[in-house]
Amino acid sequence: METIELVPLWHKDRFCIAIRGRFGPHTDRIIRNFPNCLFSKTHGCWYVSYTPATLDLLFHSLSPVLQVVVPVAFDERKLTETIIKKTLTPLPEGYNECLIRMRYSESTRITYENQIRQFIEFIKPLTIQEITKEVVDRYMIYLVETRKVSVSTQNTAINAIKFYIEQVNKGARTFYYVDRPIKDKFLPSVLSEDEMQKMLGRAQNIKHRCMMFMLYSAGLRISELLNLKWQDIDEDRNVIYIRGGKGRKDRITLLSKLALDFLRYYHTLYHSKEWLFEGPEGGQYSPRSVNQFIHKYSKQAGICKRVSAHTLRHSFATHLLERGTDLRYIQTLLGHESSMTTERYTHVTKKGFEKLISPLDYLAKGLNLTTNKGI
């Protein structure tokens, strides 16, 4: 039988259940379809947030197909002790205050605090005041070889350590030259206009449809969508005001007439108080919920690609480019600081490809082949 371990995992400031082991396609489908189960590139495993009920459901879902090993650490008393131990890992003095003073965003503060806590745990019994470049280099090797973290996670760990040395401890920029990994250059995932039309048509829920319309028609990041308020919608000028976008930059972007019509209808059904899109119990809508319903609608539309909210932003930029919009306007609409960031869409656009012919097709007549005769 296959064997899998359900292991306690402290991830993103909460206690989770890590699902580890080697398993076949059937088991893989069970795990992927388990409610709220996500994959962590940092830890190289699937995980869900811990509750006793979730652990019980996970155990019963997997036990018919394989032997599940549940470590003793999930004992309630020991679990509580572990959470307390993790929670009490102290930050360096003044670390959080310096992040706030320098106006780092909440998500960045959480990420940096998480990374510096993990670093402090690794260097024990040394204190953070005693670290050297060699210690940091050893930690980088541990992240790459043992934890097998992504390039972005490794860079974030370097930034969190640098922040302590240079900003909190007011040290020299000696760690500025810590070797950084070369970032992977992935092409953005983009839907065709036909795929986008099919997916948008699948959304019968008016709130879901409005949110997808806004993401695609304005090229919004998911955080920008969820931070919108009604006063940010300028119906007279047909623009949307983005307040405090990435890099704390304000900008305006397009307001689609179709999206505006649906927003007006949505407003007659949902009387949100503060945010444009609010959760069932008020407050900001959950970004995880947005990605979940987008993934659901993409599957219903028969799209095999992995689709997220950011895919709609990529598709917005690519479709504008294919319809002849100047790259500088697209850069402004997306809020990119560098034109190089926007230029990556030129690598996925099919604009101009219709005029190109593959060299194999030039040889087709001479080869005198058809799909029936040539095989």
| Position 11 confidence tier, pLDDT thresholds 50, 70, 90 | confident
Task: Give the three-class secondary structure for 323.
Answer: coil
Q: Report which of residues 305 and 353 the model is more confident about.
A: 305
Active site residue 246: yes
Question: Which parts of 6-126 fold into alpha helices (H)?
Answer: 25-32, 52-62, 76-87, 95-101, 106-123
Whether the CB-CB separation of 210 and 255 falls below 8 Å is answered with no
pTM of this structure: 0.63
Q: What is the pLDDT of residues 142-198, one digit of tens each?
A: 888 888 888 888 888 999 999 998 888 876 555 445 566 666 666 788 999 999 999
Catalytic option among 246, 251, 296, 344: 246
Active site residue 26: no
Chain mean pLDDT for the chain: 82
CATH topology of domain 193-347: hpI Integrase; Chain A (1.10.443)
How many Å apart are CA 343 and CA 350, to the nearest integer? 14
Active site residue 313: yes
Active site residue 310: yes
Q: What is the pLDDT of residues 270-304, one digit of tens each?
A: 888 889 998 877 788 888 889 999 999 999 999 98
Which residues lie across from 14 on neighbouring strands?
11
Write down the domain spans for the chain.
3-87, 95-177, 193-347
> Which tokens in the block code for residue 93?
């003095």
Active site residue 336: yes
Active site residue 345: yes
Mean pLDDT of 332-361: 80
Catalytic option among 310, 328, 347, 350: 310
Handedness of CA 86, 88, 90, 91 (dihedral sign): positive
Reply yes or no on whether the pLDDT at 367 is more than 50: yes
CATH topology of domain 95-177: DNA polymerase; domain 1 (1.10.150)
Q: What is the pLDDT of residues 209-251, one digit of tens each?
A: 999 999 999 999 999 999 999 999 999 999 999 988 777 788 9
Task: Give the three-class secondary structure for 155.
Answer: helix
Catalytic option among 11, 209, 313, 314: 313
Question: Which parts of 142-283 fold into alpha helices (H)?
Answer: 151-163, 193-202, 206-218, 222-226, 257-269
